Amino acid sequence: MPSPIAGKTYGTVSANRQKEMTGLAFVQGLVDGTLPLNMIAQTLGYDVIEAARGRVVVSVEPSSAHLNPYGTVHGGLAATLLDSCMGLSVQSTLEKGFGQTTVEFKISLIRPITPETGHIQAEGVVLNCGRRVGTAEGRLTDSKGRLLAHGTTTCLIFEMQQFQGECAPASLSQPRGFFLPETGDVRGHAADSTWRSEPDC
């Protein structure tokens, strides 16, 4: 496992605390270390290094811990970096009391990555953010600016309302869904559908 990043902690942020923050404040907390990065960030060794409304950058130094059986960096690292930066870019546009989760994302791997590639970073930029759905694009590049991979994402936007230990649904007049932190599910009002929630912290 890669070494922990100096000045950063790892863990989760409670639903109660998240709903009291704007999306941008949440992501900026990941950048400045006042909020913990998630545990997959510790496992893979990546960091959230920049945040502005509608734009987030994450970075990592590829190492032997990331290699696939062929000696190049596993595509899952690129996928995780792009998923994180794109999802967080959508998060950065949300008002207090709202969250997002990835519904679908697609990536294209352009160049192989090895430990010799050196520092790489993924930049996520929002394309559109509506009441229920946000979309974003991401670019993964090396220190010379060469494109290594790129992707797009679609995120579900939901309202978080805390009630007796779990997030209760918003009024049925509201089009957004709601989040159940104990099960990690996001449910929509319009249909009896459940999406598995994987918040991009």
Do 81 and 58 form a contact (C-beta atoms < 8 A)?
Answer: yes
% of the chain at pLDDT higher than 90: 74
Alpha carbon distance 179, 162 (integer Å): 9
pLDDT score for 150: 98
Q: Tell me the pLDDT tens digit for each residue of 146-168.
A: 999 999 999 999 998 743 344 44
Query: The domain 15-196 is classified under which CATH number: 3.20.20.10, 3.10.129.10, 3.40.250.10, 3.40.50.2300?
Result: 3.10.129.10
Tokens of 39: 């545990």
Comparing 23-32, 65-74, 145-154, 192-201, which segment has the lowest mean pLDDT?
A: 192-201
| Nearest one of 182, 125, 114, 98 to 148, comparing CA atoms | 114
Q: Tell me the pLDDT tens digit for each residue of 33-57.
A: 999 999 999 999 999 999 999 999 9
Reading phi first (left if > 0) and then psi (alpha if -120 to 50, else beta), residue 164 is in left
pLDDT score for 10: 95
As a whole number, mean pLDDT of residues 110-118 equals 97
pLDDT of residue 81 exceeding 50, the answer is yes
Count other Cβ atoms within 10 Å, centred on residue 30.
Answer: 25
Q: For the chain, state the CA radius of gyration.
A: 17
| pLDDT higher at 62 or 1 | 62
